[in-house]
Chain A
Amino acid sequence: MEFSFTDEQTMIFDTAEAFLGEVAEVASIRKSMETNTGYDPSAWDRLCQEMYWQAILIPEDNDGLGLGAVELVGILERMGKKLYNGPFASSAAVTLALAKWGSGDQKSTYFARLMAGESATIAVIDQARAWSAEGVSAQAVQTDEGLRISGKYRFVQHGHTANLILVAARAPGSSGQDGVGLFLIDADAEGVIRKRVPTMDQTRPLAEVQLESVLVQPEQCLGCVGNSAPALAQLLDIQAILVTAEQLGGAQASLDMTVDYLQERVQFGRTIASFQAVKHKCADMMLKVEASRSIVYYAACVIDEWLSDRYDANQLAEAASMAKAYSSDAFFFVAGCGIQLFGGVGITEEYDIQLYFKRAKATETFLGGGAAHRERVAQMLLAGEC
């Protein structure tokens, strides 16, 4: 048991900070969020080709860097700080799914594509509030040529630009945990229709993806067709943990920029940072940021343990729900207090705190907010006889 970063990790994080400082200054985020892709493709290319970040989780046997989830989460935290808007988190979640369940052939094929700069995402549900196997409505129908998938997916991160989409679909007539499969679909396959949807948080592009009788071959099935409900749950947990890392970074940045502002703004002949009501609010904000950091890095360690089969799906679920519940609420609290402490300028388009505030809400509702995840923790806590 060890709860500090190694020198190598610290070095990776410093490098990440420097790189993101170069490609993800807020001015360039604001610029790219207005484009069709919603992010800067040239920065993405550099991220893949110069930083090799798509290779972080890929084992050395597959020519990757063979690093772990702690490194990944550290980078995501720094991306969250900068509101980085490229398709990194969703690609990383797909990479983890491949690492866990992919066949040897799938790994060599898809890892190579990801490292070459392709991006990936995950498409699961159509209805809001249904982030689970129960919520899967797309159907995978057996035909003579193979399985054909049809259905609509909403809330797909970067779904309009991703090269590879990991989708969930179920056997006709099945429901609940039954009949669910996971499939790797090429975005340019016939029958894939996607469009970006306008979002309140402009830094987090979402798309609607429609599959119309898209043909999949056996080698595109991830894991066991029909029995993938448990894998899907784990996939959503992984994705949730990666979101919490971005939330942590966003919360930290919100606190930092707020304190900086407070130190400069003068009212009543003193900086507003000197008012105790303001100081105490900032102390509460910092407490939540640090507590969030503790649970997010714990959850990162759990991903590593889970990848190497030392922790099971329940432990992953608990970690994911603890982290998602706490970090969602923490980020929203910190960004919300931030706006209040900025005063009138907090309501302007010009100041950045509003972008973080929107990001807080967007990442909170995505994959379930505090209440939903606490209820999930409660179920685990209260299970069994007394």
Chain B
Amino acid sequence: MKLSFSAEDEQFRNEVAEWMANNLCGEFEPIRFRGGPGDEHSFVEERKAWEQKLAEGGWTAIGWPKEFGGRGASIEQQVIFNEEYARAGGPGRVGHIGETLTGPTLIAFGSEAQKAKYLPGIRAGKELWCQGYSEPSAGSDLANVKTKAHFDDAQGKWVLNGQKVWTSLAHESEFCFVIARTDPASKGQKGLGFFLVKMDQPGVTIRPIPQLTGTSEFNEVFFDDAVCDADDIVGEPGDGWKVAMGLLGFERGVSTLGQQMLFQSELDEVVRIAKRNGAADDPAIRQRLADAHIGLRIMRYNSMRMMSGGEDGSLQKEAMIYKLYWSSWHRNLGKLAMDVLGPEAELLEGEPYELNRLQSLFLFTRADTIYGGTNQIQRNLIAERALGMPREPRGAN
């Protein structure tokens, strides 16, 4: 356990910083610091172009093994990359679902053919992915998915029917990974398959859902005889749950580091405003600002500890607190931001519903404690898996 970085890592840091300074400029100047949570809808085309620029520089998927086009970067280097990326104002990554979820999942569970077919597009920043897990009747109870997949011998393809909901960035994505029922008679975690589905096809309909922020980053996705190739199922029919859960392990891994740098810049802004408008003289606000600062630092060391654990995405017990921790912290920051702004918090930037960054933060952080497993579900998981307490009983249906 030590805090200092090796000379080699510091050299790596310089390399990243230099590349960012030389490339995140000119046509990319306007997208600096843009596109984070609550701001995903802005500059999408420019951020797609930026993603490809990153790829040309070899800065996408740096944690992937070299054989798949990554750099095989160490945890330290991934930390450094995320720090320098955020410091330079690197925009929200449109490719993050593919890079941090699809990629590691295919590397762990995919066939050679799947790796060859999908990894290069993700690596190149050209093919974006979305996550098709939730359905109207399968939210927290994810195993209750009803979307069905059957193999059609005539076409030699899998055919999908059903509906997904809350699918983030579906409208911007080339592909979606979908959990669907391969055994129509099955229930719960059994009989599921994990599919790689192309979005641009007649059988897929995407409808954006307006959100409390006035923007739409999530969608309804309908599958009406949507198809994918015979070898677009990861693992065997029936393995879907195992693959889906493996993926959720990656969701809580390195991908969270970039997010923390963003949190830092949000907190910095709140602190700046508090100093400017006098809120920092209020002892109660001071306590909360300090608490937020301490909380974010703890988050950083939480993630360092977590990443020093299993590299296969398997989670140590203590890593199970991670989601509950960061979502609660971030939600509290949103509220603190409004309390620091005081009555100014009410006034929008403009018509029709133009929120400033902290207003979006306040509204959108209410989602943090819901998506990716709600805080209540996280507490169930911690109690059951980490503390060994009895599982919740299931209802009869």
- Which residues of A pack against B, CB within 8 Å? 1-6, 9, 70, 255, 259, 262-263, 270-271, 273-274, 276, 278-280, 282-284, 286-287, 290-291, 293-295, 297-298, 300-302, 304-305, 310, 322, 325-326, 371, 374-378, 381-382, 386
B115 interfacial by beta-carbon distance below 8 Å:
no
Q: Mark B279-295, 1 if CB is under 8 A from A, else 0.
A: 01001001101110110
New contact pairs (19) apart from A3-B1, A255-B387, A283-B378, CB-CB < 8 Å:
A1-B79, A3-B308, A4-B305, A271-B390, A283-B321, A286-B321, A287-B321, A291-B321, A298-B297, A300-B1, A322-B298, A325-B290, A326-B294, A371-B287, A374-B294, A375-B290, A376-B290, A377-B293, A382-B280
Q: Say yes or no: B392 contacts A283, CB within 8 Å.
A: no
Given A3-B301, A386-B272 in contact, is the A286-B1 Cβ separation under 8 Å? no
Q: Say yes or no: B3 contacts A378, CB within 8 Å.
A: no
B4 interfacial by beta-carbon distance below 8 Å:
yes
Contacts of B291 in A (CB 8 A): 325, 374
Q: Say yes or no: B286 contacts A378, CB within 8 Å.
A: yes
Contacts of B309 in A (CB 8 A): 4
B276 interfacial by beta-carbon distance below 8 Å:
yes
Closest A residue by C-beta to B309 = A4
B138 interfacial by beta-carbon distance below 8 Å:
no
B380 interfacial by beta-carbon distance below 8 Å:
yes
Closest A residue by C-beta to B293 = A381
B383: shortest Cβ distance to chain A, in Å? 4
Q: Say yes or no: A290 contacts B383, CB within 8 Å.
A: no
Q: Say yes or no: B290 contacts A377, CB within 8 Å.
A: yes
Interface residues in B129-188 (C-beta closer than 8 Å to A): none
Dominant SS at the A interface? Answer: helix
Q: Say yes or no: A290 contacts B321, CB within 8 Å.
A: yes
Complex Cα spacing A262 to B389, Å: 9
B357 interfacial by beta-carbon distance below 8 Å:
no
Given A4-B1, A301-B3, A374-B287 in contact, is the A286-B386 Cβ separation under 8 Å? yes
Contacts of A302 in B (CB 8 A): 3
Given A378-B289, A382-B286 in contact, is the A283-B324 Cβ separation under 8 Å? yes
- Which residues of B pack against A, CB within 8 Å? 1-5, 9, 76, 79, 271-272, 274-276, 280, 283, 286-287, 289-291, 293-294, 297-298, 301-302, 304-305, 307-309, 318, 321, 324-325, 376, 378-380, 382-384, 386-390, 392
Q: Say yes or no: A1 contacts B5, CB within 8 Å.
A: yes
Partner of A381, one of B3, B290, B392: B290
Contacts of B324 in A (CB 8 A): 283, 287
Q: Say yes or no: B382 contacts A283, CB within 8 Å.
A: yes
Contacts of B390 in A (CB 8 A): 270-271, 273-274
Q: Say yes or no: B4 contacts A286, CB within 8 Å.
A: no
Complex Cα spacing A301 to B300, Å: 14
Partner of B308, one of A4, A287, A291, A375: A4
Q: Say yes or no: B298 contacts A295, CB within 8 Å.
A: yes
Partner of A305, one of B3, B294, B302, B384: B3
Q: List 16 A-B contacts (CB under 8 A).
A: A2-B1, A2-B2, A2-B76, A5-B1, A70-B1, A263-B388, A271-B390, A279-B383, A283-B321, A291-B302, A294-B304, A302-B3, A322-B294, A325-B294, A374-B291, A382-B274
B231: shortest Cβ distance to chain A, in Å? 39
